[in-house]
Amino acid sequence: MTLSGVNRKKFLVLAFLVSADSDIDLTFHNSFLYILIRSRSRDQHTTGTTMTKCTPSLFFAASVLALALLVEPAQAQSRVFVAAQGSDANPCTFALPCRTFQHAHDVMAAGGEIDVLDPAGYGSVIISKAISIQGHGFAGLAVPSGDGITINAGTSDKISLRGLLIDGVGTGGNGILFNAGGSLHVHDCLIRNFNSGNGITFQPGAASKLSVSNTQILDNAGDGVNISPSGSGSVTVVFDHVEMDNNGVRGLFVNGSGSTGIVRVTVSESVAAHAQQGIAAASTGAPVNVMVRNCTIANNSNLGLVATGTSGMAVTRSTITGNNAGLGISSTLLSYGDNNIDANNVNGTPTGMLTLH
């Protein structure tokens, strides 16, 4: 009798179901149990000649043995794959990829990675653990209703999204809805056409971080990005090379009114254009600090930069032009004196000057 990869103590209790005159080989391979039973006839004992028998009782015993054997479940994979021709009945390996992001997420180990093998739409996904989704620039999510990617993860979980096309096709809710998690990193993505929400809604109830880079957020009915934390945790946000264009209300809105923790936002090398307001900060609660650096705020129908309530904004090396009003201030908006604020219907004046160091 040969056992490979099997719990021997569990097996020995069951082995009495099979005749002592049988040879049994058990082997595990790719999560399957292979059983080979060879019955030795009396001729073998007496003459050394081997005759293989397959009797009904022997098959019954083997079946009972296979069903009763307690096999440990397969461990979740740290790297899984999806493909256009995949199936969610597959194990999500490179050779046998699955079809949807949701199934891949569900079978993947926490902290693992989903890799996309070819262009296709892979459906909406609800994320509940640390994960990296690598779309490679050709993975799509068409979202005719609801939200594209919803994140309800643990307070220390890190979420990374790269190379995704998230399209609300004119009727979807939010492109990305972040409710909970340690951090969210969005890189090299296109988020567009959400008609009943925002491109990104970032609303953690505890301390969290958001980073968006090399990403376009376009043609959404609400804000391109809406940051509205709650609770007492601090929130830090960084935008770098982000285009927020033709969104219905604001390119970027930072709202600290529901939070008591400080909110710090840095926007660099980015564009906020063709909305009602370009970049707006407001708060009746938490202190909100927004730094705008090397940005273009252009052609917004109402205001270019807006700071109200307990929020504060500083701007350097940026162009604010073509807006109905360049600056809209009821709190603090400081300039380093190196901006181009012109060709607006009303340019506006910063509330104070900062010194370059």
Residues in the chain: 357
Same domain assignment for residues 33 and 94: no
CA atoms within 13 A on the CB side of 60: 5
Same domain assignment for residues 40 and 122: no
Read off the pLDDT of each residue in 241-253 and give the average, rounded to a whole number: 98
Same domain assignment for residues 113 and 51: no
Q: 7-45: per-residue pLDDT in tens? A: 333 333 333 334 445 555 544 444 444 455 554 544 444
pLDDT of residue 38: 52
Same domain assignment for residues 94 and 46: no
Same domain assignment for residues 54 and 83: no
d(C-alpha 164, C-alpha 337), whole Å: 38
Same domain assignment for residues 51 and 84: no
Whose tokens are 């601090």? That residue is: 234
Q: 59-88: per-residue pLDDT in tens? A: 434 443 443 333 333 467 999 999 999 999
Same domain assignment for residues 127 and 45: no
Other CB atoms within 10 A of residue 25 CB: 13
Q: Supply the range of the domain harboring residue 174.
A: 77-353
Helix, strand or coil, per DSSP, at residue 46: helix
pLDDT of residue 23: 56
Same domain assignment for residues 291 and 340: yes
Whose tokens are 């300039």? That residue is: 335
Read off the pLDDT of each residue in 342-350 and give the average, rounded to a whole number: 97
Same domain assignment for residues 120 and 212: yes
pTM of the prediction? 0.80
Q: Which residues contact 213 (CB under 8 A, 6 or more apart)?
A: 186, 187, 188, 238, 239, 240, 241, 242
pLDDT of residue 224: 98
pLDDT of residue 235: 98
Same domain assignment for residues 101 and 205: yes
End-to-end CA distance of the chain: 80
Read off the pLDDT of each residue in 202-218 and give the average, rounded to a whole number: 98
Q: Are 159 and 126 in contact (CB under 8 A)?
A: no
Phi-psi region at 92: left, alpha or beta (left = phi > 0; alpha = psi -120 to 50): left
pLDDT of residue 22: 53
pLDDT of residue 189: 98
Of 36, 51, 68, the one marking the end of a domain is 68
Q: Give the Cα-Cα-Cα angle 58, 3, 63 (nearest 5 degrees).
A: 30
d(C-alpha 129, C-alpha 180), whole Å: 10
pLDDT of residue 56: 42
Other CB atoms within 10 A of residue 67 CB: 8
CATH code, 105: 2.160.20
Average pLDDT, the chain: 85
Same domain assignment for residues 189 and 257: yes
Q: Which residue has the higher pLDDT, 3 or 307?
A: 307
**pLDDT score of 207 more than 90:** yes
d(C-alpha 218, C-alpha 41), whole Å: 77
pLDDT of residue 76: 78
**pLDDT score of 231 more than 50:** yes
Q: 153-196: per-residue pLDDT in tens? A: 999 999 999 999 999 999 999 999 999 999 999 999 999 999 99
Q: 265-282: per-residue pLDDT in tens? A: 999 999 999 999 999 999
pLDDT of residue 24: 53
Same domain assignment for residues 46 and 132: no
Whose tokens are 């840095």? That residue is: 266
pLDDT of residue 184: 98
**What is the tally of structural domains in the chain?**
2
